[in-house]
Chain A
Amino acid sequence: MASDQQFEAVLSAYQHKVFRLCYALLGDRAAAEETAQDVFVRIWKALPGYRGESSLSTWIYAIARNACLTAMKRRAGRLAISLEEPGVRVAAERRASGPATPDRRPDVLRLVAELPENYRQVVLLYHMEERSYEEVAAMLGLPLGTVKTWLHRARKQLAAAMVEERS
């Protein structure tokens, strides 16, 4: 069936991008995987009605963002970053054991997790998408200028937090 072939092509081309977008928005690997699967089921259902009014990627990212918003509402009240995430768990343990020493690797992921949500999402996607502002803007549906501004402010906050932690 033609739509099955189209769906296979979409799945193959976008599975990693959709997963990364969900991970950046939800901050949790397991939730990102489940939501990304939901996204593709939604895409499969909606694909026959896709008429190309917007580009395919814009359409897919909009579906992904909506699915993530639904997932976030569903688990409202829980931590944005799960303590079960390996990086965060290790960071929490390190934090409990005292201040970081200069020879240790900096706990940047934990510092990122402490950023405001919009900054965190931009930082995560920027590094997952090989530092492409355009890709981050397309995935989050934001103007390029907003992405650059948020990223600049987030990096400033991260640098300040890291200096504070060292001192």
Chain B
Amino acid sequence: MGEQHKGRLKVYLGYAAGVGKTYRMLEEAQELKRQGVDIVIGYFEPHGRKETIAMTEGLEVVPRRAIQYNNAAFEEMDTDAILRRKPAVALVDEFAHTNVPGSERVKRWQDVHALLDAGIDVIATMNVQHLESLNDQVWHVTGVRVRETVPDWVIDEADEVVFVDLTPQALRNRLERGVVYAAEKAQKAMDNFFTETNLSALREMAMRHTAHEVEEKLSAGPDAGSAEVAVAVSNEPASQACAPAPRPKERILICLTGNPFSAVLIRRGKRVADYLHADCLAIHVAQAGEERDTIERHLSFARNLRIETHVVEGPEIARAISDFARQQHITQIFMGRSAPRPWYRGLRETVVQAVASQSREMQVIIVASKRR
């Protein structure tokens, strides 16, 4: 018992600014405080919202830390001060935030991990569009490439994820009434990002993702064996007529290149692996004269998502991939579309075709390049 145990992380997940994540977090904080829990505000973003600010009344605030960058002052959460104060629970708004350069840690979620490691429970807020695995989907729907992302495993490891719902109509009413942003900004927001379509799409993603988190926690729970049953009863698209025989564990291999599309490939392969509870590996076949920096960036992006990466040598790319896959008992190979063949090689096989014909015991997946 004497050893330090990790704090618990609870995340209020929303789908847009103004749905009420922070409010719900503060509501819970007030309730905890009434129960005598030692709780502080580690970081709070008021956005000038009166009702929300009122909810902070009586809660202790750990002041932010000022950081100078490019001759401007920025304020970040003062993680060290919270660690010194050592409350039982700390509230942290905007979990996906990227700290200003010069901060001790790059991401706020890393600051939160420092708090958890010190045994402090954390209640945090985040929007679904910051999840790494949804980055491409969010971009296709909204046209916005979200830069501040959080790897999915960080949320998977949270002890509790709670979905904060508000209908898009109600959110747009709030915007109109100036509750969320000042009037001018609100009108702009409603014309651009906060359209009914975008909001509905993001909301559906948040619902599905929270359901996924609940299911993950179920299958990781004490009697995980029956999780498969839970999956089977909880939806109806496919009948339960066929009880699948036990199968060897799926193992997914993602083939990386220097092509920028590799990021999409990594996210998609990892997402499928997560849903199938499959192992996930990535491979790059080193080629003479290639851009090492780009490759290294893709490999490190994969590692950040907890994908095991490998670099192999081989004159023939397809052969190297299928040999590695066989040796690693891979069941599914994820690839990008091969570049169009130059006219003089028009009749030769593409890498995709070669891998498909050489890896006949595996599935080969060519990932969508223009996913809606």
- B is a partner of A: no
Residue positions of B touching A, CB distance < 8 A = none
Residue positions of A touching B, CB distance < 8 A = none
